[in-house]
Amino acid sequence: MASLIGYYSLITGLLCSFLIIFFSLNNFNRSDILNKKIVYFTFLQFFLVVVSFFGLILSFVFSDFTNSTVFNHSHTTKPLFYKISGTWGNHEGSLLLWLLVLTLFIFLFLLESKRQPIKYRLLTLLFQQIIIVGFFVFIIKTSNPFSYIFPAPKEGLGLNPILQDPALAIHPPILYLGYVGSSIIFSSALAATTLNYVSKEWAKHVKQWVLVSWIFLTLGILLGSIWAYYELGWGGFWFWDPVENVSLMPWLALTTLLHCILVLEKRLILTSWAIILSIATFTLSMSGTFLVRSGILNSVHTFANDPERGLFILIFLFSLIFLSIFIFLFFHKNENKSKNSFFWFSKETAILINNWFMMYFLSVILIGTIYPIFLEVLSSEKISVGPPFYNKLILPFLIPFLLAMAIGPKLNWIKSDLKNKANLFLFLIISLLLSIFIIRNLSINFLVNTILVTSALYLFFLTLRDFLIMKIKNLSQNLSHFGFSLLILSILFNNIFSSEIITNLKIGESFQSKQFTINFKSVDQKNERNFKAIIGKFEIENNDGTVEVLKPELRIYNQPNIVTSEADIKTNLIRDIFITMNLVQNQEYFNIRYQIKPFMIWIWFSVLIISFGGLISIFKRKHEH
Amino acid sequence: MYGRKVKLRLVFISLILVTLILSVYLIIKSLEENVVYFQSPTEIKALGEINNKKIRVGGMVKKNSILVESKDIKFVITDFKNEIIVIYSGAVPNLFSEGKGVVAEGFLNDRKLLLATKILAKHDENYMPPEVKEALEGK
Amino acid sequence: MNIKILPTILILFFCLIFLIFYKGLKNSNIYTPQSYLEIDVPVFVLKSFKKEDEINSKDIFKHDQFYLLNIWASWCVPCRAEHEFLMMLNNNKKIKIIGLNYKDKFDNAKNFIEEMGNPYFINLIDKNGTAAIDWGAYGVPESFLIYQNKVIKKYLGPLNDKSYFEIEEIIK
């Protein structure tokens, strides 16, 4: 029943699109006031998608196995929370969520853009409707979440246990808010280009949307990373896996856009650049969807393999790309060349330089991600590109990037001279000495690591100093840059000081290393509704006499029947200790992995700070209005 | 003579070009160094020479071949035509078991022995990584 | 002049990317487990669950109807997932499901069937897995749709609702 209602409201939602397009076109040349019907229908469309989405949620909650999505991804013994989160934990449901956010955002856009020119609002709406119609057709045609099974099976196939996790339950919605937010930027950029409305007012207006989607995208990536950290049991937080890369690429484009919009808002330069970035951000989000959903990528965790769906997204994606190329080339006017001049030593230059660096990082990741696809098509050679590639190409260029980030905000617009030169230099020396002191006794590449740590420390100190002396012109910017320096520092120290023991132990055995002894005490069993757990008990005796007890689990889920390792992690401010165990096919040895990961919590925390900076920026703007 | 503006523009454009070429060169060079090729046991047997580049070997874990010792894990990867012995010391993924598909990454010792540094298994209900399936189908 | 070169290059570039992705997509078809092998079914002689005497495969597949040979084992996890579909298929009179119990303990296999239901018309025992190799099986579960002594469709991995409907469609 719920499925049926869901399906029909989805169809009606698609019809709404045509009505909206019709009324908008009608309204476009005739009147100076926005036709009220357009707003109503936009709301109606949003409402219908909400109904459809709730229909799917209810089918999941009541385990209605006549619905094939529910059947394939749910099970009666699953806890209620995961029944609900299972709604978007699969291909069909997650697309419905995309659509939900798409319609929500365009409705919000109409509400909050009242001060903007009416033609711009209508055109943005029209471009957004093109995307919305595309998604409606995609869902209804190739991945209908409400398809019917007869006869109804008694039991569902269950949700993949590694997806049964709180972080992953909220990860997709947050990430989609970021992805889809970029669709508004895309539509609005195209509309502004067509109407030749790329101006300071436009920058001011679109900046909010950039900030909103940037914050959500940042948080979404953070959640995914946290999930990978404790659920996949590898103890890392970033693997340069294609699926992760496709979420990082829009983030880089969006971050670049954010800085670009800031310049545009103040100085009305870099207009073409801003438009290109707006288009690129959404295009990258869409390509991400294409790469993940089509199965064309050979990733360790791809979603579903279905070439037919892939083909649809591919054609849709490239239609959008060609549409935007067309609009950009034929409507965009590169005006006001005279205003274009600025001195090389200014805030603009610093931002521009970092823009270029971010574009470089973006291209490295893009090439690393799609090169295997190209090679396989052209030479049918199968390869994968690993972390060394990215580390080698990205790490060295972080140095000038960080330095520019530290100095840039201190400069003025147009033309600048460095104030407090002595002060800035002093901090550089302090950072250098401090990092030499930290790195000196370690058996790693001294030069690169020292300079890297120095530049990160430098940014850290400079931003910290601004907090301390309360001389903050731009709190949000300072906070985000501070967070970024903290992030880089934590990642560096995490890499440098991590240690890891992998060994096979029988119950009762112990493993001795220089700093600690791992005693494998015992195993226990526990029965839950949807899984059985084998709980190991490990005592870690450190040389300073302290003892930690860790209890990693091995979970055997009943539907689908899959074994997962649950890591046991003890966190404090300085380090995480992380242990996983695994049983290898009826052998008496357990495969034990024990890791000491310094500063893990600071990695999460610093990303929160970064996005918090964005949040402050939004509220500040609201305040100004 | 060119005007100052034009000159500046020329410098700017050439600067961009140089950076572009440099970064493309850098990227391609490290791609060559850092890619990992995927091969099946049969392909390895036909290999001309053994270099010490990292490779990935895919196939099925042979039945009754897993042997766990305190230091390392030994098992045999088979594509039902040829086999290769894998010695691995490290963490194994949950889906690693006999009769299942597996991808081992590491260095070849000789044509019959792989010293693995990483073992991968796909995290979904698919019982076989696509690479393995292809390798087994003889593609 | 300048204006015309740039768009052309841009559009050509994206067309190229489109083409490569498109071809890549075609390539990824290999991942979907379908080979249409119009070959005769292999001949084998095996014991079945019920009777002690051995059964020749020629006697099984001789009738003019559809058969589904399903390779399964009680230790195989995805087999549990697909069992439901086998039970559903069993309701269709046009098809007979032949089980090939792969490298399994007899008692475990029996328990499995008692617990999950028996969709199999005949259940053959392939204790050491040799018959499965004759069939070119990669692993368990695997299913072969057979008509007139020919394998017309092969399903690697567990059957799902998609393959279920496909089978229902074919045997109509």
Q: What is the pLDDT of residues A386-444, one digit of tens each?
A: 788 898 889 888 999 999 898 888 887 777 666 677 888 888 899 999 888 888 877 77
Choose from A299, A377, A379, A586 for mutation: most chain C CBs within 10 A. Answer: A377
pLDDT score, position A341? 59
CB contact (8 A) between residue C21 and residue A373: yes
Least confident piece of the model among A86-95, A279-288, A307-316, A447-456: A307-316
Which residues on chain B are in Cβ contact (under 8 Å) with A509? 70
Q: A568: which 2 tokens?
A: 């046991």
Residue A514 — pLDDT band, cuts 50, 70, 90? Answer: confident
Residues of B numbered 50-79 whose beta carbons fall under 8 angstroms of chain C's beta carbons: which are they?
60, 63
Q: Is B82 helix (H, G, I), strand (E, B) or coil?
A: coil
**Which of B31, B39, B69, B136 is best to mutate for the A interface (most A CBs within 10 A)?**
B31
Residue C162: the pLDDT is 77
* Pairing assessment for the beta strands B83-88 and B113-120 based on DSSP bridges: parallel
pLDDT exceeds 80 at position A219: yes
Task: Give the pLDDT score at A418.
Answer: 65
3-class SS at C76? Answer: coil
A52 or C170, higher pLDDT: A52
CB contact under 8 A, A385 and B35: yes
Report the pLDDT averaged over residues B112-134: 62
Contact map slice: C 106-125 vs B, CB within 8 A? none
Strands (E) across chain B are located at: 35-39, 55-61, 67-68, 73-78, 83-88, 101-110, 113-120
pLDDT tens digits, one per residue of C107-138: 888 888 888 888 888 888 877 766 776 676 65
C63: left (phi over 0), alpha (psi -120 to 50) or beta: beta
Q: What is the pLDDT of residue C30?
A: 35
Looking at the complex, report in whole angstroms how far the Cα of residue C105 sits from the nearest Cα belonging to chain B: 15
Q: Which residue has the higher pLDDT, A76 or A213?
A: A213
* Candidate from A301, A589, A593 with C-beta closest to B123: A301
How confident is the model at residue A330, as a pLDDT?
Answer: 85
Query: Is the pLDDT score of A617 beyond 60?
Result: yes
Task: Look at residue A64 and tell me whether its pLDDT is greater than 50.
Answer: yes
Q: What does the angle CA A468 – CA A473 – CA A474 come to, to the nearest 5 degrees? A: 95
Span A347-366, pLDDT tens digits: 888 888 889 899 999 999 99
**A280/A287 Cα distance (integer angstroms):** 10
Q: State how far the alpha carbon of A341 is from the alpha carbons of A269, A314, C23, in Å.
A: 9, 41, 46
Report the helix count and the strand count for chain B, using DSSP H and E: 3, 7
Contact residues, chain A to chain C, C-beta under 8 Å = 68, 71-72, 149, 151, 153-155, 157, 290, 294-296, 305, 307, 310-311, 314, 318, 321-322, 325, 329, 373-374, 376-378, 380, 560-562
A521 close to A538: Cβ distance less than 8 angstroms: yes
pLDDT tens-digit series, residues A249-265: 999 999 999 999 988 88
B130 at interface of C, judged by CB pairs closer than 8 A? yes
Q: Is pLDDT of A520 > 80? A: yes
Q: Of the spans A595-609, B103-117, C29-43, which averages the highest pLDDT?
A: A595-609
By mean pLDDT, which of A378-382, A594-598, C119-123 is the weakest?
A: A378-382
Among A109-123, A186-200, C45-59, name the one with the lowest average pLDDT: C45-59
Most confident option among A210-219, A586-595, C10-19, C63-72: A210-219
Of the partner residues A305, A374, A562, the one whose CB lies closest to the CB of residue C28: A305
Mean pLDDT on B74-78: 86
Tell me the three-class secondary structure of A433-470, residue by residue: HHHHHHHCCCCCCHHHHHHHHHHHHHHHHHHHHHHHCC
Least confident among A57-71, A143-157, A452-466, A503-517: A143-157
Does residue C32 have a pLDDT over 70?
Answer: no
Per residue in C78-107, pLDDT tens?
Answer: 777 788 888 888 888 888 888 888 777 788
Q: What is the pLDDT of residue B65?
A: 82
Whether A424 and A410 have beta carbons less than 8 Å apart is answered as yes
With cut-offs at 50, 70 and 90, classify the pLDDT of residue B139. Answer: very low
d(CA B109, CA B47): 13
Better-scored residue on pLDDT, B80 or A451: A451
Give contacts of C156 with chain B, Cβ < 8 Å: 128, 133
Q: How far apart are CA B58 and CA B53, in angstroms?
A: 16
Residue A309: what pLDDT? 78
Interchain contact, B128 vs C140, CB within 8 Å: no
Please tell me the predicted confidence (pLDDT) of residue B63. Answer: 76
In terms of average pLDDT, the best of A83-92, A186-195, A238-247 is A186-195
Q: Find the mean pLDDT for residues A323-342.
A: 73
Q: Which residue, A299, C150, C156, C158, is CA-closest to C170?
A: C150
pLDDT in tens, A551-578: 998 888 876 667 778 888 889 898 899 8
Q: Return d(Cα A189, Cα A257) in angstroms, integer.
A: 12
> In a 3-state reduction of DSSP, which class is residue B7?
helix
Residue with the larger pLDDT of the pair B114 and A440:
B114
Cβ neighbours around C62 below 10 Å, total: 11
- How confident is the model at residue A466, as a pLDDT? 83
Q: Is the CB of A364 less than 8 angstroms away from the CB of B27?
A: yes
Mean pLDDT in chain C? 75
pLDDT at B96 over 60: yes
Distance CA A34, CA A475 (A): 37
Q: B residues 81-120 near C, CB within 8 Å?
A: 99-101
Domain regions of chain A by residue span: 1-164, 174-336+348-386, 387-498+602-624, 499-601
More confident of the two residues A237 and C103 = A237
Average pLDDT over residues A142-150: 82
Residue A104: predicted pLDDT: 94
Mean pLDDT of the region A57-68: 89
Q: Which residues of A touch C161 (CB under 8 A)?
A: 68, 71-72, 149
A469 has a pLDDT exceeding 70: yes
Flag whether pLDDT at A484 surpasses 80: yes
Q: Cα separation of C64 and C55, whole Å?
A: 19
Sign of CA dihedral A293, A299, A302, A305: positive
**Mean pLDDT, to the nearest integer, of C39-57?**
71
Find out whether A78 and A164 touch, Cβ atoms under 8 Å: yes
Residue of C nearest to A65 (CA): C161
Across the interface, do C22 and A311 touch by the CB < 8 Å criterion?
A: yes
Say what percent of chain A tops pLDDT 90. 34
Please state, for a pLDDT cut of 70, what percent of chain A lies above it. 92
Tens digit of each residue's pLDDT (9 = 90 or more) over A154-190:
777 777 777 778 888 888 899 989 998 899 999 999 9
The pLDDT of residue C34? 33
Mean pLDDT over each residue of chain A, to the nearest integer:
86
- pLDDT band at residue A295 under the 50/70/90 scheme: low
The pLDDT of residue A408: 84
Closest partner residue to B94 (CB to CB) among A382, A563, A589 is A563
**What pLDDT is attached to residue A302?**
47
Q: Give Cα C117 to chain centroid, integer Å.
A: 20
Query: For C162, which residue in chain A has the nearest alpha carbon?
Result: A68
**pTM listed for this prediction:** 0.81
Per the model's pLDDT, the better-predicted residue between A338 and C81 turns out to be: C81
pLDDT value at residue A8:
93
SS3 A114: coil
What pLDDT band is residue A278 in, cutting at 50, 70 and 90? very high
**Does residue B129 surpass a pLDDT of 70?**
no
pLDDT at position A298 is: 57
- Mean pLDDT lowest for which of A224-233, C29-38, C81-90? C29-38
pLDDT(C163) > 90: no
The subunits that touch chain C, with at least 3 C-beta pairs less than 8 Å apart, are A, B
Question: What average pLDDT does this structure show over A44-65?
Answer: 93
Round to whole Å and give the CA distance between A484 and A466. Answer: 15
